[in-house]
Amino acid sequence: MIGYGVVGQGLTSILMRRRAETVKDYGFNPKIVAVVDKGGAAINSRGLSLEKLEALKKKGSVAEDAAFGHPKMSALDVIESVEAEVVVEATSTNVKSAEPALSYITKAFKTGKHVVTTNKGPLALAMPALTELADYNHVYLRFSGTVGGGTPMLEFAKKCLAGDKILAIRGILNGTTNYILTEMAEKHVTFQQALASAQKLGYAETDPSMDVDGIDTACKVVIMANWIMNKKLTLKNVDIKGIRDVSLQALDEAAKRGNTIKLIGSIDGDKPTVKPTEIAKNNPLCVSGVLNAVTFVSEFAGEETIVGRGAGGMETASAVLRDLLDIRHKLANRLLNSNSE
């Protein structure tokens, strides 16, 4: 595990709580052989104790462990030198250079390790190249937690609608902006007041411009378009407009028409866009507060909308666990096929 913040710690908590069931229901009993945080690494090829990892993190860094700690050891050294099947990459997002996560992911691929990431940066900037590199190295790249948090938006379209053709995707994909617009529309607070309370509640990114200027939504649009519609997009292909110019007056006028304004990311036709859009209050996509929602339009099944919480440590960790189970399933099938050849 690279990065041991809210998502990483959420994953160890879920693994502890669900250990018996994941073994019984999925035959899945993972060993965490290394964890890296800002202070260094903890490494044990026989598996680190989950309980101990949680306790160490509360103290500061996992590298403080007397027996297995490696203060200052770098993530790249760990990925290179530790034997593992999968790297869970949960470091913070950088949409300018995608680093350091991009180097972690490519190092993992080159050393034959599958990757589960919750990091939007590398995917938004280099998803076509990364999927190619994963294929070339015969490893899997999974990223359910990057869109919709724990809500399985990517899987819904990819697996539940398998066989159909997804024609368009429209979604509220950012909880912070949805919270701000809801507060403005319902409580008549200003943009700045609503943003301050979103920050206080911990919804916003460290740099809230990621949220309010539509960049976070655009990253998610890129990931969805590539994964679900087989496009080869990066962030620069998206037309982006955030919510800074949405006024209380515009929200009031929309309300008189039975509508409201939401930040909608959409892929409909060739040009993906992110922009404030007036939608009917009775549109299933029109969810309030920090909720996310996405509507898939497919050729035969029609329109379906999936709604859920789009962020949060435990929610995103639950997506990581789903990805780990998916990789395990794929590896089991690979083995089965090679035995029957």
Smallest gap from Cβ 211 to ligand HSE, in A, equals: 5
Smallest gap from Cβ 78 to ligand HSE, in A, equals: 26
Rule CB under 6 A: say whether 205 interacts with ligand HSE. yes
Rule CB under 6 A: say whether 216 interacts with ligand HSE. yes
Q: Give residues 289-328 in contact with ligand HSE (rule: CB under 6 A).
A: 310-311
Amino acid making up residue 325: L
CA dist 65 and 280 (Å) reads 55
Smallest gap from Cβ 176 to ligand HSE, in A, equals: 3
- Nearest to residue 9, comparing CAs of 74, 44, 61? 61
What is the phi-psi region of residue 40: left when phi exceeds 0, alpha when psi lies from -120 to 50, beta otherwise? left
Q: How far is CA 5 from CA 21, 71, 219, in A?
A: 25, 17, 21
Task: Single out the residue of 171, 175, 265, 313 in contact with ligand HSE (rule: CB under 6 A).
Answer: 175
Smallest gap from Cβ 242 to ligand HSE, in A, equals: 13
Q: Give residues 218-257 in contact with ligand HSE (rule: CB under 6 A).
A: none
Given the rule CB under 6 A, which of 29-37, 62-70, 74-82, 200-208 is the region that contacts ligand HSE? 200-208
CA dist 8 and 4 (Å) reads 4
Catalytic member of 57, 107, 120, 220: 220
- Answer yes or no: 220 catalytic: yes
Given the rule CB under 6 A, which of 56-64, 202-210, 230-238, 295-303 is the region that contacts ligand HSE? 202-210
Given the rule CB under 6 A, which of 18-26, 62-70, 171-179, 296-304 is the region that contacts ligand HSE? 171-179
CA dist 198 and 175 (Å) reads 9
61 or 174: CB nearest ligand HSE: 174
> Which alpha helices (H) appear in 92-119, and where do they start and end?
101-110
Task: Single out the residue of 91, 176, 226, 295 in contact with ligand HSE (rule: CB under 6 A).
Answer: 176
Rule CB under 6 A: say whether 274 interacts with ligand HSE. no
Smallest gap from Cβ 339 to ligand HSE, in A, equals: 41
Q: How far is CA 235 from CA 96, 153, 178, in A?
A: 10, 19, 21
Smallest gap from Cβ 337 to ligand HSE, in A, equals: 36
177 or 259: CB nearest ligand HSE: 177
Given the rule CB under 6 A, which of 82-90, 95-103, 199-207, 324-332 is the region that contacts ligand HSE? 199-207
- State phi, psi for 77 to the nearest 5 degrees: -65, -40
Element (H, E) at 210: helix 209-212
- Nearest to residue 105, comparing CAs of 89, 118, 93? 89
CA dist 47 and 226 (Å) reads 35
User: Among all residues, which ones are annotated catalytic?
Assistant: 220
* Contacts to ligand HSE by CB under 6 A: 174-176, 203-205, 211, 216, 310-311
